[in-house]
Amino acid sequence: MNEAQASPDPILLDPGGPIREDPLRAFERWLLMARDVVGFAASAMSLATATPDGMPDVRIVLLQSVREGGLVFFTNLDSAKGSQMLANPRAAACFHWPAIGKQVRVRGSVTQVDAPFADLYFGGRSRGSQIGAHASPQSSPIADRTTLLDRVREVEERFAGRSIPRPEHWTGMVLAPLEIEFREDGTDRLHDRILFRRSATEWSATRLAP
């Protein structure tokens, strides 16, 4: 067992007592711990949405930041996950960091970031990624890879010699948690689990059986 597993985080102690910090701040500390060990890959999260008929849908996306009261990630609004979130603005996410023996699950509502922030983030991406955001009809069927590469060349020619604006269908989403569950690995699978729930005014905490 590594040091992180052997020394439980204080947030997981005494859940019946007063909450000593915002769970989102605790999440950020855990994320930093994971990044110290596994690097950029710590930002990968499983994002779950649902189709209009209730079928769950999950994929890996990258967390961009923690701001505006939630977890920020970027997507194509015309993609499967984008259209699902527009129709049903709720989602769930899971971070799993085996290297430090920790996991975080989040459920809540999703909203779009403001346009200036989306523009700023898009402007900082590589030119190739900017071109890809225009060229790829994400999640839509295409005839073959040649079709996609032809679209890339068309976008390259259209914006040759000038900056590339953010397409309207590409923006950021904020997952604002209503629930955050922290889990630390324990011996004999007796894991430590604390569930935080947010009411209109405050967070409450409950210990869960592993």
Query: Dihedral of CA 13/17/20/22: which sign?
Result: positive
Measured between alpha carbons, how far is 104 from 122 in angstroms, rounded to an integer?
28
- Collapsing DSSP states into helix, strand and coil, what is residue 88? coil
Q: In 3-state terms, the chain is what percent helix, strand and coil (to 5)?
A: 35, 35, 30
Residue 3 pLDDT:
41
Residue 119 pLDDT:
97
Number of domains in the chain: 1
Q: What is the mean pLDDT of each run of 10 residues along the chain (210 residues)?
A: 45 52 89 96 97 94 92 96 96 97 97 96 95 93 93 96 95 97 88 90 87
Residue 202 pLDDT:
86
Global pTM reads 0.87
Main-chain dihedrals φ then ψ at residue 3, nearest 5 degrees: -60, -40
List, for residues 66-106, the tens digit of each pLDDT value.
987 899 999 999 999 999 999 999 999 999 999 999 999 99
- Kindly state the tokens that stand for 183: 């889990």
Residue 188 pLDDT:
84
Domain extent, residue 69, equals: 3-208
State the CATH number of the domain containing residue 133. 2.30.110.10
184 near 9, Cβ under 8 Å?
A: yes
